[in-house]
Amino acid sequence: MSTLPKIAWIGLGIMGSPMSENLLKAGYDVTGFTLEQDKLDRLAAAGGTAAASIAEAVRDADVVITMVPASPQVEAIAYGPDGILANARSGALLIDMSSITPGTSVDLAKAAADQGLRVLDAPVSGGEAGAVEAVLSIMVGGEQADFDQAKPIFEALGRTIVLCGPHGSGQTVKAANQLIVAVNIQACAEAVVFLEKSGVDLAAALDVLNGGLAGSTVLTRKKANFLNRDFRPGFRIDLHHKDMGIVTDAARDVGAALPVGAVVAQLVAALRAQGDGGLDHSALLRAVERLSGARV
């Protein structure tokens, strides 16, 4: 009989499905809930248990993990008579791996403590590929003892796992991550258009650039997207737009100037307004092409 903690997983989207499946591969008992029946069927096919409600999923869980799009969804699944706080057993550990505002994470931790629950905010970076390959970077906020308890779970999901500070710290670091990623993608997109308009062999140019100081995980992961104009969503523009709002608001609150970040946030917003919100964030290339007079 397994001595591993029983896990409830809420949210089985692009990231949540492969992450929950990696826990199943590691031997964990996972009960999941999400709104899409096909995602529940996928979990069951992988060896998990599909629940009919949040309450059913979390009732007997030692650890509840949530992975949903934004703060409103976290609040919707956490609060109220049908939510996690009202139905999870006292002493359970709630790990929110969504990317939300630091303030939402702090408020959730306080509300959960009133119900006898412990909380970690643990957003991730690495995209769909990182989730599938279990090589995510996991940035955590909360108490050391809770982090220590959760560490084996995190090790089944990611490679770089760091406790960044108290509640909300994980989300603050994730906001900085999203700032860096967006600026990096934008710079890569501009370089791609510049190279192509200059008549350079794009594949060769990106290879040599990625071998020098200009190299990055972004370029490694997104090079094929740029070359093939393949913008199937690994991480949607809609979500990066949300994240850029989080980092610009948080920076304003602490008095940090983000001049380049503010420009890129507007470029992400413009791409979304042009109807490309459902595409992968590498589709920032489309915006640069439009500005450069290219057909897209």
Q: How far is CA 283 from the centre of its chain?
A: 18
Q: Which is the catalytic residue, given 6, 25, 151, 174?
A: 174
> Residues 143, 91, 22, CA angle at the centre, nearest 5°?
75
The packing angle between helices 169-197 and 102-114, to 10°, is 150
How far separated are the first and last CA of the chain, in Å rounded?
Answer: 56
Residue reference for tokens 């969804």: 73
Q: Is 223 considered catalytic here?
A: no
Q: Which residue reads 């591969």 in tokens?
A: 25
For residue 191, give the nearest of 168, 170, 172, 218 by alpha carbon: 218
Q: How far apart are CA 62 and CA 171, in angstroms?
A: 23
**What are the tokens at 282?**
């590498």
Q: Pairing mode, if any, of strands 118-121 and 124-125?
A: unpaired
Q: Please identify every residue annotated as catalytic.
A: 174
